[in-house]
Amino acid sequence: MNNDSMVSPYNFIDKTSFSLPEKIVLYDSTLRDGEQMPTVSFSPEEKIELAKKLDEIGVPEIEAGFPAISKKEVDTVKAIKREGLHARILVLSRLKKGDIDAALKSEADLILLFIASSPLHLRHKLRLGYEEIKNMIEESVQYVVDHGAVASFSTEDSTRTSIEVLEMLSNIAMENGAKRIGFTDTAGCANPQAIGYLFSSMKRKLGDVPISAHLHNDFGLALYNALTALHNGANHLCVTIGGIGERGGNVPLEQMVCVLKYLYNRDLGIKTDELYELTQMVCRFTGLRLSRHHPLVGENAFTHESGIHVAAVLNNPFTYEPISPRCVGNRRRIILGKHTGHTMIDHKLEKLGLSLDDFGKEVLLEKIKDLGEKKGVVTDDEFIRIVNRVRVERQL
């Protein structure tokens, strides 16, 4: 326990069964994969502002876009790069000369080359065979390196591709100068055991090359799979703010950072107390709203109504909060409603400078519960009106 958190002590008893790499690098893809979420589109100014905020809180790598989309995308990435941020700027590129040329023009620090590798994608999307894919990898990685840029190579749909094919394609990329190799759970269809098998297998086969994981959340397993990937050889991990992205989204930046910091004692140097502000910025730019119960940065993450819970939280917040809301820049909310108890009534009366005798408090509590059952939440104004009504009734 410290001033900010009180989590399970069991988390730290057995440190041998679940090890993490010495260095963990998060690369945020909100500006690229996050923007591929249907209805989401950032303006150049919004992308620059988000990149600056990500850099300010200490995110080490930012995937700023997909330059092949348009000249405006190239110019936006270039503008982000010229902000002089501490973060490395990454961009995505298919194994196409036009894509790579656009990526080179963007002046990014690292070009994330990718191509689908599963039989399903090769047959129904690319209509290509493995010999063609191998040639494309060789030519594309060489082209990037020959132009003085740094190349990473990832297979798309890795979790539905055989280990033998992943090894073959990765080795070709490495032999031609790729400095990082990535594997993706494109459809979010792998369970943690599958992720563990894939990443541990590739770690053994590829040696010391940095390995990245890009995981989707279709079954709600992205965070679990991310931890599993880190435990089994990955040291670079793709995240997005609020987990936004295609379909079920991606690994949420705020959850990944806080899980590592508070549950595994691995502080990545990212300013967690600005995570709420960061997610609100994304919501403002996109028009999206996080679910009320979104972990850590949702409105209900530190909200209490139940009488038993409120009584305990007012005495010691750690009874029902594993970390302080200030750790993520959120705030505690204690609300009145159907489940309100006596402690909350006393607390609210004192806070608002009001008073009632014991019988009046019982009447007040009953009325608060009735209104809460009808409309969910009782506001302070409604509480004051009910208090005044009870006072009048008590005088009659």
User: Phi/psi of residue 120, each to 5°?
Assistant: -60, -50
Rounded mean pLDDT of 58-87?
A: 97
Q: Between these two residues, 16 and 62, which has the higher pLDDT value? A: 62
CA angle 132/137/142 to nearest 5° reads 130
What is the band of 373 on the pLDDT scale with cuts at 50, 70, 90?
A: confident
What does the alpha-carbon distance between residue 54 and residue 34 come to, in Å, rounded to a whole number?
14
> Nearest CA to 241 among 288, 206, 202?
288
Burial of residue 148 (number of CB atoms within 10 Å: 0-12, 13-18, 19+): exposed
Instruction: Classify residue 26 as left (phi > 0), alpha (psi -120 to 50) or beta.
Output: beta
Sign of the C-alpha dihedral computed for residues 69, 70, 72 and 77 taken in this order: positive
- Res. 395: pLDDT tops 80: no
Average pLDDT over residues 199-222: 97
Is residue 396 very low, low, confident or very high in pLDDT (cuts 50, 70, 90)? Answer: very low
Give the pLDDT of residue 394.
66
Pairing, β 303-304 against β 211-215? unpaired
Work out whether strand 180-185 and strand 303-304 pair parallel, antiparallel, or are unpaired: unpaired
Give the span between the Cα atoms of 192 and 221, in whole angstroms.
8
Q: Three-state SS for 313? A: helix
- Please, which pLDDT band fits residue 383 given cuts at 50, 70 and 90? confident
Which of the four pLDDT bands, split at 50, 70 and 90, describes residue 145? Answer: very high
- Token pair for 149: 């840029």
Helices (H), 31-126: 44-57, 71-81, 97-105, 119-121
CA angle 223, 37, 231 (to 5 degrees): 20
- Assigned token pair, 22: 């010495």
List % helix, strand, coil for the chain (3-state, nearest 5).
Answer: 50, 15, 35
Contact 284, 77 (CB under 8 A): no
Residue 310 has pLDDT above 90, yes or no: no
83 phi and psi, to 5 degrees? -75, -10
Q: Does residue 377 have a pLDDT over 90?
A: no
E runs forming strands in the chain: 25-28, 61-65, 88-94, 110-116, 150-156, 180-185, 211-215, 236-239, 303-304, 333-334
How far the first Cα of the chain sits from its last, in Å, is 53
Confidence of residue 2 (pLDDT cuts 50, 70, 90): low
Domains and CATH numbers, the chain: 23-286 (3.20.20.70), 303-395 (no CATH)
Is the predicted pLDDT of residue 256 greater than 50, yes or no?
Answer: yes
